[in-house]
Amino acid sequence: MEKLEKFFITTLVAGMVTFSSILVVPTQVTQALITTNKIEDNPITVKNDLIGTDQIKNNAITSPKIKDGEVKSQDLANGAVTKDKISPFALQLVTVGREVDYWIDPQTANGVSVQCIPGEVVTGGGFGTADQSLIFLTSRPMVEANKWVIYMYNPTDTKSHVTVWAVCAHLAPGL
């Protein structure tokens, strides 16, 4: 009778280090005997510092093997992520137009602004009107307030309509 040997199998499955042990007759071990599914049946969590970087082969941990949301900022060393390590397609700039319609009273000067929402940054803006008698004093960003503002004067005896808009931008996950 052949001697039984105990094999310990350690692997990384979906970001979790797992291990299993099996008793086999060495001459009867086939590739099909040990499968990922069998290893996943008995996962355990490894305590801190039991597995270090010297036990993990280069390129053994790849993005497809890490569950979404498992790597947090506190898991990364300072300086671990640099622009050279980030794909140029990891983030994309998304712009959104925001606008406000405003009626300015006759014989008045007033300012109107359009605010970008939290998480966005004002990158541009402007105004539009059909009334050529309005006098625009300024149209500019108020960067510290994250909005676009215009100041105008209505010299006429009737209300006038103006639309003010801001171009707001934010970063989103890339393709």
Domain closes at, from 20, 41, 70: 70
56 and 98 together in one domain: no
Q: Domain residues for 50?
A: 5-70
Of 7, 42, 59, the C-alpha closest to 28 is 7
167 and 107 together in one domain: yes
pTM: 0.54
Whether residue 32 is predicted with pLDDT greater than 50 in this model: the reply is no
Report pLDDT digits (tens) over 137-148: 999 999 899 999
- The pair of structure tokens assigned to 60 is 């053994």
The per-residue DSSP string of 34-98 comes to S-HHHHHTS--PPPTTSS-GGGS-TT-S-GGGS-TT-S-GGGS-TTSS-GGGS-TTSEEEEEEEE
The answer to whether position 83 is within a domain reads: no
Total domains, the chain: 2
Per-residue pLDDT band for 34 (boundaries 50, 70, 90) equals very low
